[in-house]
Amino acid sequence: MYKHTVSQHVFTFDSLTELMAKASPLRSGDQLAGIAAGSYQERIAAQMALADLPLTTFLQEPLIPYESDEVTRLIFDTHEHTAFTAIAHLTVGDFRNFLLSNNTHTSQLTALQKAITPEMAAAVSKIMNVQDLILVSSKCEIITRFRNTIGVKGCMSTRLQPNHPTDDLKAIMASVLDGLFYGSGDAVIGINPATDHISTQVQLLKLIDAVREQYAIPTQSCILSHITNTILAIEQGAPVDLVFQSIGGTEKTNSSFGINLSLLQEGYEAALSLGRGTIGNNVMYFETGQGSSLSANAHYGIDQQTLEARAYAVARAFNPLLVNTVVGFIGPEYLFDGKQIIRAGLEDHFCGKLMGLPMGCDICYTNHADADQDDMDALLTLLGVAGCNFIMGVPGSDDIMLNYQSTSFHDALYIRKLLNVKPAPEFEEWLLKMGIMNTQHEITVHRIYCG
């Protein structure tokens, strides 16, 4: 039992799971699950009790039993105990102070990445305000490579997302060219297919690969279909660069997606066997989102933000090129409004970076959420300051296939100019060579020349 007294009122929390849930900043998903704090006062009491909790508690009390959940087993079996000794004496509150200290730098955070469990990252985020999350995230540098270098400080990449509701090849190609002429696509040219037909996936992969090869574009492609389809596409000789999969923070959540750790390993090894990366072998692309476990009835009474962090342990096991939270996509049932979406996006980015992941963010909302483009502009700016590895580039910011609002090619230009950040180095060089961008990092080509 955990407890804390506020104005002579003793608040008690029967388990670590309850303490974590009650300490979470307000969000509609936890309210829907019936696990949120009943009042602001109770939330503060839980946060105070959590701040006094030794970090070692998370190695002694798994939120889901080791025997019944393979994600729990992964977390405990891969924990780096030697590196953990540097922070083993700290409480959650002390850990926050350590992270914020002027004497804690990138190299120290890098050394601790695999010593920090998802629950530790989630716990400390719950007692941090927005500026704390941004400041610590900005200290982290997570670099990955395939055909270019993503995550270098001073750079921000974009996923070019040319989705189409019927997978029309001409329409997709028009969006790809539009994005490239706005300097988008250095993280990946990634298409969510409208159907799950293997033949469509192979066709799309060949289309993007042909364009990449014709113009010697230093980037990578990905069709965001189920991993089993991508494995089949590899077996058929398709030009697969990255293997994609949505993942969650419990074994039951991943089962609802039709996956387990063994299947992810199979996909990882299949992509590695192709050897298509020219400067690196980070071949996996994962997407996550707060609320996925609750929507699958696989949350075990654990708050959605902690479960999101547990998904990052799954991603971390496969050395991904890209990981992004699709922060507002699941809907207002889980993140009700712009305020909750903004906080969740910063938490997700912080926890992922702290654990050593190349975190990006799909800064987005659905049309029935109490949010608008002003909220997305605010989150984009905050994540840019925090050092987010990549964002989405959607034509007009309106995904006409998935029916949600994200960030546009123009949004990427805004944040790059505002913060004086650039595309990935190899992609920047290509943009300069092609005359798409000048040496002041301004886009100079706004139309397609034919001839």
Integer Rg of the chain from CA: 21
Token digits of residue 208: 């993007």
pLDDT tens per residue across span 174-186: 999 999 999 999 9
Domains of the chain with bracketed CATH: 2-139 (1.10.220.70), 144-434 (3.20.20.70)
User: Strand 322-326 and strand 359-362: pairing?
Assistant: parallel
Q: Answer for the pair 351, 122: CB distance below 8 angstroms, yes or no.
A: yes
Residue 245 annotated as part of some ligand binding site: yes
295 labeled binding residue: yes
Give residue 354's Cα distance to chain centre.
12
Alpha-carbon separation of residue 284 from 37, 118, 222, 397 (angstroms): 37, 20, 10, 25
pLDDT at 446: 55
CA 435, 417, 392: angle at the middle one, nearest 5?
A: 85
Could you tell me which residues come within 8 angstroms of residue 228 by beta carbon, excluding any fewer than 6 positions away? 258, 263
What per-residue confidence (pLDDT) applies to 68? Answer: 97
CA distances, 276 to each of 145, 209, 234, 318, 436 (Å) = 12, 11, 12, 17, 26
Cβ-based neighbour number of residue 252 at 10 Å: 18
Classified as helix, coil or strand, 189 is strand
Whole-structure pTM value: 0.96
The tens place of each residue's pLDDT in the chain, 451 residues long, gives 899 988 889 999 999 999 999 999 999 999 999 999 999 999 999 999 999 999 999 999 999 999 999 999 999 999 999 999 999 999 999 999 999 999 999 999 999 999 999 999 999 999 999 999 999 999 999 999 999 999 999 999 999 999 999 999 999 999 999 999 999 999 999 999 999 899 999 999 999 999 999 999 999 999 999 999 999 999 999 999 999 999 999 999 999 999 999 999 999 999 999 999 999 999 999 999 999 999 999 999 999 999 999 999 999 999 999 999 999 998 999 999 999 999 999 999 999 999 999 999 999 999 899 999 999 999 999 999 999 999 999 999 999 999 899 999 999 999 999 999 999 999 999 999 999 999 988 998 654 444 3
The whole-number pLDDT of residue 395 equals 95
Question: Is 184 a known ligand-binding residue?
Answer: no
392 assigned ligand-binding residue: no
Report whether 225 belongs to an annotated binding site. Answer: no
362: annotated binding-site residue? yes
Is 118 known as a binding-site position? no
